[in-house]
A = this chain, B = another copy of it.
Amino acid sequence: MQDFQFYTPTMVYFGKHMEQRVGSVLKEHGYSKVLLHYGQGSVIKSGLLDSIKTYLDESHIAWIELGGVEPNPKIGLIREGIELSRRESVDMILAVGGGSVIDSAKGIALGLANGKDSVQMQREQLMPTHHFPIAVVLTISSAGSEMSSSHVVTDPETHTKRGLSHDVLRPDFAFLNPELTFSVSKYQTACGIVDTMMHTLERYFTEQKDAPLTDTIAEAILVSVKEAGIIAINNPSDYQARATLMWASSLSHNGLTGCGKTAFFPAHKIEHDISGLFDHIAHGAGLAVIFPAWAKYEYNNDVEKFARLAVKVWDIAYDEEHPEVTALRGIEAMSNFFSAIGMPRTLEELGVPKESWETLASMTTNNGSSSLKSYRPLGKREILEIYHLAT
């Protein structure tokens, strides 16, 4: 087990109607004015936003609002949020939504606490040092941003989508009511299932062989998500399945599944450029295509681990003589599962034309000058081979 730090300070309120506590909890902890941050209207249509405003009013928490967060949140709105929050002297950013809204809220908090925004910090290779309070009312189980240290932002000027991770970005409070996800579409539910699995799997395949506790916990999360995922897709109002998916999305990305290991995250990095360039592509759908292709490209470098996953999660019998067959069957089973819940199998199905491959691979490798960490370095040529395996 490698040395690690583990810090998950988020106070989680999990269960039915938990969003109703938002006002009283924030009041109890001394907050007085929040920026209510949300997306493009679903929380308005559902009535959730109005309810949240009521809960805040009832607890005498003042609020201002900034909606309009798009999927793949943009730095422009974050800058607007920083200005607005500063002008209005809010003492907390309250995100009502999913991963994009939370990531946008984290961007605002980062800017408020550190003087520079995340695109500036990444350009200047700076790391944040200060935290600004963040609370979350979650509406989709997927990104795990409600407990994670991650923040992903897109800069439309450069079409780049980049991540920044730091403990100062972990939310202070997360209100997780699985009922709020009953109305999430099958497609978005499936994207969330894939994203949650990926946050676990991208930490599972690493060079460390000596973190068995972390690996068995990862397998526990994957099995639970697989089983609950099928139920939730078939019956969107199954509370227990939605609850499992919601809690799994938080645990998969709060650091627990990476303790004692150094993760590569190659599929995320390859996918970020795809959904950065093609704004309509959902991150989870992109991962459902890229991760199995990456796995087919890399399994030979860690046959036993890929075979172990096949046995523990995908119920494949272990082939003593040919563990590589077990490994490949596991990858196939994973692909079949993604397909069964409605995810695309190929780049073409995903909506990525072959003509864009060259551009994408260049973006991911800084014009071929850098490579991604994986079992072996993935440069432009290797990434193009992975695209080929995704056809």
Residues of A participating in the B interface, judged by any CB pair closer than 8 Å: 1-16, 18, 210, 212-213, 216-217, 219-221, 223-224, 227-228, 240, 243-244, 247-248, 251, 256, 259-260
**15 A-B pairs, CB-CB below 8 angstroms?**
A1-B14, A1-B247, A3-B16, A3-B18, A5-B11, A5-B12, A5-B13, A6-B11, A9-B11, A14-B259, A212-B228, A213-B251, A216-B224, A217-B220, A220-B220
Q: Which residues of B contact A7 (CB under 8 A)?
A: 10-12
Q: Which residues of B contact A11 (CB under 8 A)?
A: 5-7, 9
Q: Which residues of B contact A6 (CB under 8 A)?
A: 11-12, 14
Q: Which residues of B contact A212 (CB under 8 A)?
A: 224, 227-228, 244
Residue from the list B8, B15, B210, B228 in contact with A2, Cβ < 8 A: B15
Knowing A15-B2, A217-B217 are in contact, say whether A210-B240 is a contact too (CB < 8 A).
Answer: yes
Nearest chain B CB to A354 CB, angstrom units: 40
Q: Which residues of B contact A1 (CB under 8 A)?
A: 14-15, 240, 243-244, 247
Knowing A14-B3, A243-B1, A247-B259 are in contact, say whether A221-B213 is a contact too (CB < 8 A).
Answer: yes
Is A14 a contact partner of B5 (Cβ separation < 8 A)?
yes
Distance in angstroms between the alpha carbons of A244 and B213 in the assembled complex: 6
Nearest chain B CB to A27 CB, angstrom units: 16
Nearest chain B CB to A229 CB, angstrom units: 12
Is B4 a contact partner of A15 (Cβ separation < 8 A)?
yes
Q: Which residues of B contact A2 (CB under 8 A)?
A: 15
Q: Which residues of B contact A219 (CB under 8 A)?
A: 220
Which 6 A/B pairs are nearest by Cβ-Cβ distance?
A: A3-B15, A216-B220, A6-B12, A213-B224, A1-B243, A220-B220
Distance in angstroms between the alpha carbons of A7 and B259 in the assembled complex: 18
Residue from the list B10, B14, B260 in contact with A247, Cβ < 8 A: B260
Nearest chain B CB to A4 CB, angstrom units: 5
Q: Which residues of B contact A213 (CB under 8 A)?
A: 220-221, 224, 228, 244, 247-248, 251
CB-nearest residue of chain B to A9: B9
Nearest chain B CB to A290 CB, angstrom units: 26
Q: Which residues of B contact A14 (CB under 8 A)?
A: 1, 3-6, 259-260
Nearest chain B CB to A315 CB, angstrom units: 14
Residue among A6, A240, A247 with max Cβ neighbours from chain B (10 Å)? A6
Nearest chain B CB to A11 CB, angstrom units: 5
Distance in angstroms between the alpha carbons of A227 and B211 in the assembled complex: 12
Nearest chain B CB to A29 CB, angstrom units: 12
Q: Which residues of B contact A221 (CB under 8 A)?
A: 213, 216-217
Residue among A210, A212, A251 with max Cβ neighbours from chain B (10 Å)? A212
Q: Which residues of B contact A259 (CB under 8 A)?
A: 14, 247
Nearest chain B CB to A204 CB, angstrom units: 13
CB-nearest residue of chain B to A223: B216
Q: Which residues of B contact A12 (CB under 8 A)?
A: 4-7
Distance in angstroms between the alpha carbons of A12 and B1 in the assembled complex: 15
Extra 16 A-B pairs, beta carbons < 8 Å, given A6-B12, A213-B244, A247-B259: A1-B247, A2-B15, A3-B16, A4-B15, A5-B11, A5-B14, A8-B9, A9-B11, A14-B260, A210-B240, A213-B224, A213-B247, A216-B221, A217-B217, A217-B221, A217-B251
Knowing A212-B228, A213-B247 are in contact, say whether A8-B8 is a contact too (CB < 8 A).
Answer: yes
CB-nearest residue of chain B to A8: B8
Distance in angstroms between the alpha carbons of A227 and B216 in the assembled complex: 12
Q: Which residues of B contact A217 (CB under 8 A)?
A: 217, 220-221, 251
Q: Which residues of B contact A216 (CB under 8 A)?
A: 220-221, 223-224
